[in-house]
Every structure is written in C-alpha cells, then in structure tokens.
A and B are shown apart, each in its own frame.
Chain A
C-alpha cells in the first residue's frame, strides 16, 4: 500500500452546488478533509450543514463541482466502480426493501456485492449473530422496529467486509437503547481494522468517535480528535446550583450574565460555559467545575463562527431579552388543564395506549418521552382531538374532549414535527393564513401579526417564502403561527429535531417564557437532555407509563445507590430495559 492511499478518505478543496428554486445553493464550500484508516470518524453538524452531501461524495454517488475526492486512494470521478467494490454504504433510510424479509434483504445485497455461496453463508451467520437479528430472518423488513432496521441496514452494508464503512445518520429516529447497541457494534468493527465515517446530529455521540469533523453551513469548522476540541474549554465549564431558585429561573439569570457563553439546564442544576476559566459565582450560588463536553465546544465554535461571519442576522445573540408574548399573568392558581384517566386506544387488535392516567397543571412544561412505538404520538393526537380514544376520559381546558372538540381546539396551539407551513407562501402570508384560520380579524389580526414579526425577529424575512428559510427560522415561524390566537395549551411534537444547538437553546428560552406567562406546554422529544427542561414528565414504553414525576424523581427512580449523577438518558435506558427486556425477548 503506497503512502498516497494511507487515508481512508480525502477531500481536497471540494465544493458542491445544487439548484434550488432556480438558484444555486452551495452544499459544501471548499472543504478539505482527511479521514484516517482504522479509526471511527464522526461527521457532525446541524441539518443542512452538508453532511449527506459529503457522505455521497465519499460514496462516489456525487461528483464535486470543484476539488477532488479520493476514497481509499481512488479518484471518485474516474474510479467509481472500484470504489463501490470496497466500500459499505448505508444511506439515511437504511436502503432496505420493506417487502422483503430480513434474510432476503441479506441475500440480495450479498449477491450484489458478489459474494459466493459459502462466503455468503458464513458472513451472514456472523452478522446475524453480531446484530442479534438471527431469530427474525423470516420477518419482513417493513415490520421491524427502527432499531432493528438500522442494524439490518448495517449488516447489509457490511456483507463483503468493506475497507471503508459510510453511515449516513444511522441513529436518526432511533431510540437511545438501539443507539447504544449500534455504537457497540461500530466500536467492535474498529477493532477489526475497519475505517468508519459516521454522520450524526446527536452531539453526545461525538464522544464515542476517535476523530471529529465539524460542518456548519457547508463549511468545515474544525477537524480534530475529541479531546483537542474540548481542551480550550478546560476549566471553563461549571455546574451551578442555587438553594432557593428554580432551575429555570437560575438558567434565565445565568445566560444573561457577562462572560457566560452558554447556560443549559442539566440534572439538578445549570451547566454553564464561561469565556474565561474562572467561576462567576454570586452567592448563594454554588459553582462546581465539570469536564467540558463536546456540545460545549460545538456551541462555543458556532458562536464564534457566527460572530466572525458579519451576516449576524442568521442568529442574533441568543441573550436578547424576550418580552412576554402574552398578557402577563404573574400569579395563577395551580388549576388542572389536562386530565387524562385510564386512556386506551386500540388500532384493531393492537393496543397502542394501554390505560394511562396523568394530570397537567397550568403553566407547566410537561414532557412525553419514550422510545419509538411507545405510544407518544397516539397520546398526543388524542389530546389534540385528532384521534378519539377507545375508552377512558380526557378533559382538556376543563372540557371533555369529543363533544366540544372544536371549542377546545380554539384554546390549543400545535406545532408538528414537520412544522406544517405552506412552503410557497411568504412568512407574512403564513401568519395571515393561520390567524384567519383561528378567527382573528381586523385590527386584532394586524396587531398579532405585528407582534409575531417583532417577537420572533421575522420582520427581515416577512416577504421570503417559508420554504427558503433556514431550519431554525422555520421553527420560529411554526411556533409563531401556533401562537397567533393566544392558546392556553401549546402542543409541540419533536419540535427541535435537526435544528442546531443554538437554535435549540433559543427555542427553549421562548418556551420557558411562555410557561412563565401561564401557557401550558406539552412536548415530545428525542433529546433526553431536553427532558431536563420539563417540570413534569411521563416516560412511556409499549403503551404504558413507566415513570412519572419531576426529572429529578424519574432519575432517582433509575439510579442505583452507587450512581450519583445519572443522566436522563441513562435513566431512560435503565427504566426501559427493565420494563421491556422480558417482552423484547419474547417477541
């Protein structure tokens, strides 16, 4: 092997352009990357950063407009066929045929990759053991859970023992347990000498990679191993607690404080990243030094990148104080806003929700957590009146849903996962449409629209089509549309998946302020760290409630005596495994 081919993947000043709405958009801008052999390299960045484009360049499925791509020493433009002989590639939706069984999918890819019969048998056995899919050979791929699909997709990409494995967002939409299993497999492969490039939007996965590539808006921000990235923040990260104040109030205070780069709620305190390596303690706060995480480094980098880029309109400093969007109601009685009792929903023979009960008080942020298929979305749809329960009672805003569904919906705001915006309408038109939909007219409508444009800093984009907005702005607009009629209850279904960490922080600020103003917020999320922002949460699994209470009490439920600082994700995995393992084995 000559020295030129010592890299698994090399991009030299690569740029890639696409046409969108007749205008060229640069997906990648002069990106130079060196991925070493025998290591796991993580490709990180928010949605739209160019991760998938880079993956496809590496798989020789796209050619760069400028620059050169060398995969295992081969030129992607001229030696695509040889490259395809040596790589394993798993695209975003795993590339599986849903109508085919697990075994048939494996057979197909084995034949496509040119394995002979004996090789095929041995390798398949090996992979079925590795992925624990052995018992499911005859099951159709379409009937597998997200986590099992992901493992099957991985097995298909690994059949011919590739020299370079490319995984494009393998953990999107997959629950924490399956994510953990996948990483276990990937790290095992590295020991066999495989080079792996894996893209992900989950920042915590970065800590498992040997090297990191950080993409933002088509540019490479940094390439470095994890410790190198976090080194500058050594001594700058703290956990802050306050004996009296609530975490939310404390966080709101800290993020305004001079010299603080980032403040997020974590466990029983607030995690703070400072510009300088020194604590900015104000008694009676307690500041404890903690080790920097990759996310701290990422946020610090992004903040710097945005400050240096003079187009500061993209993300105004997240600390801009936000006025109360609703009539201020400083003190309100703890009335029950949502009451759910013995709620059941069946789809044919399948019981999606198995008799759950909970209550939500006014002004609470209430989280609904669970793995795929836990029944979160079904519950959500019933609460919004989009789906009628099979049995059980459901009272929203004091009214039994069902008879008065239309009236009750007047008090609800809903932001769906896909944001439900009209892409070809401008920001202004979207706002006007949604306010008319909720029956606003005349001066009232005008006032609310003016409020939305100011409050969400959308005025500069008022005439832009909503489909052309960056994801973070789409999210703001969707939230604004859902708030036009000043709802009492706001439903948010996975509102932060895919948006970058800065936009996510800003989003949570707004949510906190809404809750302080007396709006009840129901939220589902995949990001376990976001569960910490909730006042109350419900952890669901297979249609049942596993745990219920404050984040603190849910964590305490899972912790063994020797575990002091259990993260929400660890608690989640422990609780779900305890509950599901007998069932998983049985299926």
Chain B
C-alpha cells in the first residue's frame, strides 16, 4: 500500500468528520445496535405463548389432562370454551390464533382407537404463524398420545409416527439465524449507504471541487474514502458479532478468523457499490435513494436473511444471484450455525470476490479528477 502524507491527511480528515458528525455516527453505531435489538428481541419468527382456544364439548379426565398439558407448553396459552361458536367468535376478534376442537366423542373415540378425533382451526391471515401453529399443535397431540400409551400400557393407533431431528438450530430459535444475517444488513448500511452519502456531501458542499484542484491523485482520493469506512465497517461488524455472541447467545460453530475474512470481503463489495453510486449521484438525497433501493432493500429482502430464497418464485430466485448480501448471508449462517464447510465458504466467497472486482473496476473507470 502506498501510504503518502496526502493519504494520511485524507484519512485523518475523514475520521475527524465521522467523530464530529452525529449523523455519520448514528448510521455507523446507533443504527446497528437499534437493528440488533429490534431483530434480537422484537422480531421473532418462533411461536411463543400463542393464544389458542380449546373447545371442550364434554369435559372428562382425559380432556382435562390434555388441556393441562397444553398449558404447560411454552408455545401456547390455552383458553377453554365449551362451545365452538364462542371460540370462533374469539378467533374472529383476534383474541386467539387458532382453535383446538375436542368433540363430545373425544374420550370415547380415543379408547375405541378410531382415527384422531381432533379438529384444528387456524387463522391463516399470518401464514407463517398459522403454519407454525398447525405444526406445533400436531406435535403436542402426538406427544400426548404417546404419553397416554406409555401410562396406560395401551397401544394407541397413530396414522404415522414422526421422528423429528432439527439440525443446526436444534432449539429452533429464529434469533440464531436472524442476528448473523443482520450483520450483512449493517455492513451494507455502512459500506454502501454511508459511503455514498459522505461522498455526495462533499459534492454538495463544494469540498470535492476543492480537493480535485489540489495535487492529490484520484487513487489517493478514493483510498481516502475507502480506508476509513472499511475500518468503520469492520468496527460495526465486530460490535454486531460481540452482541450476537454475548447478548443473544448465538452459537458460533465456525472459525472467527474465517468470519472476519468473509466480512472484510463483503465490506469491500459494499464499499465498491457505495463509491460507484457516488460517481453518479452528487447530492445526498439521490445518493441515499439509490443506495437504499439497490443495496439496502435487496440485502434485507432478497438475501435470504429473513425470507427463504428457496420459496421465492423462480425469476426472483435468479435475481437474488445479483445481490451480494445473498452470498454473505449464506456465509454468515454457515459459519455461525453449521461450521467451516469448505464447499459453501469457497463458492460464496468466490462470488463476493468477483463482485468486489467488478464494482471497483467500474468505479475506477467512471471516476475522473474532473467535474463533468
């Protein structure tokens, strides 16, 4: 690296600006912490204490046991009704998410070994919760039947016996994959959005014009932006990893060094995008709009961070290959939850490397030490 006094002065200037400008500090440190808290505590894709109505048309010892079993589960908050109509009303009013209907012949049917006499009604408006609820309720039902069988020594007939094994995230905590994925979003914010904004600010305030009229070279000017925001981005990522491990107790299966390397690589892509945007957008409003639309939103929606890419329509799936964050989210989830899997790490890192080269190549081609 060519560390000239000029470059040193430019980097120093940038850091002074970051330290003294509340908005830059907010994007670099406050926003990541805010997002981590939001996704760590606020957004949960797990089912916890879901209110469900249990309609018991004819209470017996067995039904009481079943409801008691439900209450003990952390997944549900059962409310007992004696009539289906009342439960339906509660569902309509969003007081409960689903209805479990134990018909009057529940106990009899159970011992007569007929097929499952259990009705499940789920509010399908929130499809995600609905699916979860359905699965959980079936799981509870199965467990209960097995327990009954063990206790009474009778064999109860089940249609199929399922054996579930959940890999990589045994506790099924959505936090464990949301928090690592967030690191990609945070680094996109710092690398692309913040960088595009600060360059645009230099255009707006006329300082870029003054810089260009000095003997500083184009390379020095670009590195003068790249180095500070690279360090800032790595700082943001270290903060996020620390919070993930300590505060949210996300396990890290893979190596920390590989995690750092992968992040550094992705940060270069993000910075490349930020600088490329800043060659076109010379005011902060436009720069912010472009950065949010082409970098931040895709990192949020199309990266597989929240929404599973596999369940997207085919054309959208193809589109996600253009989203750098997609590769990084895969890398992050692999390193955090699965460990060092060479096949996954190499292909995704390779894709990031190509994108970094592409964006820097384009930036270099489009940058000139001129105003037009």
Seen from chain A, the residues whose Cβ lies within 8 Å of a Cβ on chain B are: 18, 56, 59-63, 80-81, 84-85, 87, 89-100, 104, 107-109, 111-114, 140, 156, 166
**Pair B205/A93 contact, Cβ less than 8 Å:** yes
Q: Does B16 contact A (CB under 8 A)?
A: yes
Q: Using Cβ atoms and an 8 Å threshold, which residues of chain B touch A95?
A: 206-207, 209-211
11 residue pairs from A and B, CB less than 8 Å apart: A56-B209, A56-B371, A84-B212, A84-B214, A93-B205, A96-B210, A97-B207, A108-B10, A111-B6, A111-B9, A113-B214
Q: B213-245 toward A: CB 8 Å interface, digit per residue (1/0)? A: 111110000000000000000000000000000
Instruction: State whether the Cβ of B95 lies closer than 8 Å to any Cβ in chain A.
Output: no
Given A61-B213, A84-B214, A108-B13, 18 other A-B residues pairs in contact with their CB atoms under 8 A: A60-B213, A61-B209, A61-B212, A62-B370, A62-B372, A63-B372, A81-B217, A84-B215, A90-B210, A91-B209, A94-B210, A95-B211, A99-B16, A99-B17, A108-B9, A111-B5, A113-B214, A114-B5
Which chain B residues lie closer than 8 Å to A107 at the CB level?
A: 9
Chain A residues in 8 Å Cβ range of B212: 61, 84
Q: How far is the CA of A140 from the CA of B214 in the complex (A)?
A: 22
Q: Which residues of A contact B6 (CB under 8 A)?
A: 111-112, 114
Which residues of chain B come closer than 8 Å to A114, judged between CB atoms? 5-6, 215
- Do B13 and A98 have beta carbons less than 8 Å apart? no
Tell me the minimal C-beta distance from B229 to chain A in angstroms: 16
Contact A100 B369 (CB under 8 A): no
Give the docked Cα–Cα distance between A319 and B6 (Å).
Answer: 58
CB-based nearest B residue for A104:
B16
Closest to A114 in B: B215
Complex CA gap A56/B206 in Å reads 12
How many residues of chain B have a CB within 8 Å of chain A? Answer: 27
Q: Is the CB of B206 within 8 A of A94?
A: yes
A96 to B8: give the CA distance in the assembly, Å. Answer: 18
How far, in Å, is B210 (CB) from chain A's closest CB?
3
Query: A81 with B205: in contact, given A97-B17, A100-B13 (CB under 8 Å)?
Result: no
**Minimum CB distance partner of B208 in chain A:** A95
* B16→A100 contact, CB < 8 A: yes
A109 near B17 with CB under 8 A, answer no
Contacting pair A91 B13 (CB below 8 A): no
Most buried by A among B210, B213, B215: B213
User: Which residues of chain A are within 8 angstroms of B9 by Cβ–Cβ distance?
Assistant: 107-108, 111-112
Asked if A61 and B371 sit within 8 Å, CB to CB, the answer is yes
Within the assembled complex, what's the spacing in Å between the Cα atoms of A107 and B212? 17
Distance of B179 from chain A, by nearest CB (Å) = 33
Contact partner, A89, options B8, B17, B210, B216, Cβ 8 Å = B210
Docked pose: A327 CA to B71 CA in angstroms: 85
Contact B215 A85 (CB under 8 A): yes
B215 in contact with A112 (CB, 8 Å): yes
CA distance A224 to B106 in the complex (A): 108
Q: What residues of A have a CB within 8 angstroms of the CB of B151 in the complex?
A: none
Q: Are B213 and A87 in contact (CB under 8 A)?
A: yes
Q: Quick check: A104 and B13 within 8 Å, CB to CB?
A: yes
Check: B21 CB closer than 8 A to any chain A CB: yes
B211 to chain A, nearest CB (A): 7
| A113 contact set on B, CB distance < 8 A | 214-215
A89 in contact with B213 (CB, 8 Å)? yes
Q: How far is the CA of A84 from the CA of B369 in the complex (A)?
A: 11
State the CA gap A163–B310 with chains docked (Å): 65
CB of A232 to closest CB in B, whole Å: 38
**Cross-chain contact A112 with B216 (CB below 8 angstroms):** yes
